C-alpha cells in the first residue's frame, strides 16, 4: 500500500528575471544554483538566451517582451514570489514589460515583494548584454521600483559618469545611483583591483554602511554579481531585513569567490554551490 504523504512545507520562493548563460557560470544558471544553496525554491522569467562559454558571448536571442511578462505573471499568480531579482534584461522593451508585470503582481519597493535590480550591462569578457536604449529604461522604469540596486563599477560609470578609482569615491557613486530612486543602493567593488580589500558600500539615502571582505587573488569571478544578488534575494524571500540580507549575500559570495574554479580556456565561475556537499560525503 502506498503511504499518504501531505508533502513538506512549501519553501520560500524567489524569482530571477534573467538571461541564460550556456556555459553555466553566470546568468540564471548562477541564480538557480545560489537559490538552491540558500534553500529557496527558484523560478525563472527568461529574457534572453546567450551563446556563451568561458571565453565570451558569441550570440544572443532575445525573448519577446510579452513572453517575459507572461512568465512573471504566471508564476506570481500561482506559486507566489516572495522576492525577485533581475539580471541580463537585453533591451528597453523587455524592461518596460517587466516594470508593468511587476506592478501587476506586486513586486517592488514599499510593502510589495522585495525587488533586487542588478543592472547587468556587459559580460566580464566585455561583450555587451544590453542594447543602447536600455540604460535610460533602467533609470526610468526599474530603479524607482527597486528595493535594492547592485551596480558594479563599470555599470556605475555607464549610468552616472563617475569613474571610481579609489575606495573613498564609492560614496559619490552611491549618492549618484541613489538619485535614480531605489530604496537602497549597493556599490560592488570587485573591479577595484588596486584595493587590497573588497569593500562593498550600502546606502539608503542617509547612512553609508561598508561591507568589508578580503580580496582573493583569482581571475575566476564569472557570475560573482549574480551570485551576490541571488543570495541577497534568497534572504529577502525568507523575510530577512535588508541590511542582514546584504550582509549574508556578501558572506555567501565571499566564500563562492574563495572556492571559484577554472573552467574551459577562459574565466571560470565563482562556486555558487559551495554549500552543497559532495556526493561522497552524504
Q: Does 260 bind ligand MP5 (CB under 6 A)?
A: no
The rounded distance, in Å, linking the Cα atoms of 51 and 226 is 18
Residues 216-255 that bind ligand MP5 (CB under 6 A): 222-226
Residues 233-272 that bind ligand ADP (CB under 6 A): 250, 253-254, 257
Give the CA angle between residues 247, 251, 253 to the nearest 5°: 115
Among 53, 123, 160, 234, binds ligand MP5 (CB under 6 A): 123
> 145 to each of 47, 122, 182, how far by Cα in Å?
19, 22, 6
Minimum distance from CB of 58 to ligand ADP (Å)? 20
For 74, residues 6+ apart whose C-beta sits below 8 A from its C-beta are none
Q: Identify whether the C-beta of residue 140 lies closer than 8 Å to the C-beta of residue 178.
A: no
Between 142 and 183, CB nearer to ligand MP5: 142
Minimum distance from CB of 215 to ligand ADP (Å)? 4
The rounded distance, in Å, linking the Cα atoms of 208 and 281 is 42
Give the CA angle between residues 98, 100, 101 to the nearest 5°: 65
- Using the rule CB under 6 A, give the single segment among 2-10, 39-47, 208-216, 234-242 that binds ligand ADP: 208-216
Which residues form the interface with ligand MP5 (CB under 6 A)?
18-21, 26-27, 50, 52, 87-88, 120, 123-124, 129, 222-226
Which residues form the interface with ligand ADP (CB under 6 A)?
152, 188-191, 198, 200, 213, 215-216, 218, 221, 224-225, 228, 250, 253-254, 257
Amino acid at each position: 500500500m502506498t503511504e499518504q504523504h501531505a508533502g513538506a512545507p512549501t519553501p520560500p520562493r524567489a524569482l530571477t528575471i534573467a538571461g541564460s548563460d550556456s556555459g553555466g557560470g553566470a546568468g540564471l544558471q548562477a541564480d538557480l544554483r545560489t537559490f538552491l544553496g540558500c534553500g529557496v525554491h527558484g523560478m525563472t522569467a527568461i529574457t534572453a538566451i546567450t551563446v556563451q562559454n568561458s571565453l565570451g558571448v558569441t550570440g544572443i536571442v532575445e525573448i519577446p517582451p510579452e513572453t517575459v511578462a507572461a512568465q512573471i505573471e504566471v508564476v506570481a499568480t500561482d506559486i507566489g514570489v516572495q522576492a525577485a531579482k533581475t539580471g541580463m534584461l537585453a533591451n528597453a522593451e523587455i524592461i518596460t514589460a517587466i516594470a508593468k508585470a511587476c506592478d501587476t503582481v506586486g513586486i517592488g519597493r514599499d510593502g510589495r515583494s522585495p525587488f533586487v535590480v542588478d543592472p547587468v550591462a556587459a559580460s566580464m569578457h566585455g561583450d555587451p548584454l544590453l542594447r543602447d536604449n536600455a540604460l535610460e529604461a533602467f533609470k526610468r522604469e526599474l530603479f524607482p521600483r527597486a528595493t535594492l540596486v547592485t551596480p558594479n563599477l563599470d555599470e556605475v560609470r555607464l549610468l552616472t559618469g563617475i569613474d571610481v578609482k579609489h575606495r573613498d569615491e564609492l560614496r559619490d557613486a552611491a549618492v549618484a545611483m541613489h538619485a535614480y530612486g531605489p530604496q537602497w543602493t549597493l556599490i560592488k567593488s570587485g573591479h577595484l583591483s588596486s584595493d587590497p580589500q573588497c569593500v562593498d558600500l550600502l546606502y539608503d539615502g542617509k547612512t553609508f554602511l561598508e561591507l568589508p571582505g578580503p580580496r582573493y587573488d583569482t581571475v575566476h569571478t564569472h557570475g560573482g554579481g549574480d551570485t551576490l544578488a541571488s543570495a541577497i534575494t534568497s534572504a529577502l524571500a525568507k523575510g530577512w531585513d535588508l541590511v542582514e540580507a546584504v550582509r549574508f549575500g556578501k558572506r555567501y559570495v565571499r566564500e563562492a569567490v574563495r572556492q571559484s574554479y577554472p573552467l574551459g580556456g577562459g574565466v571560470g565561475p565563482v562556486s555558487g554551490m559551495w554549500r552543497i556537499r559532495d556526493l561522497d560525503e552524504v
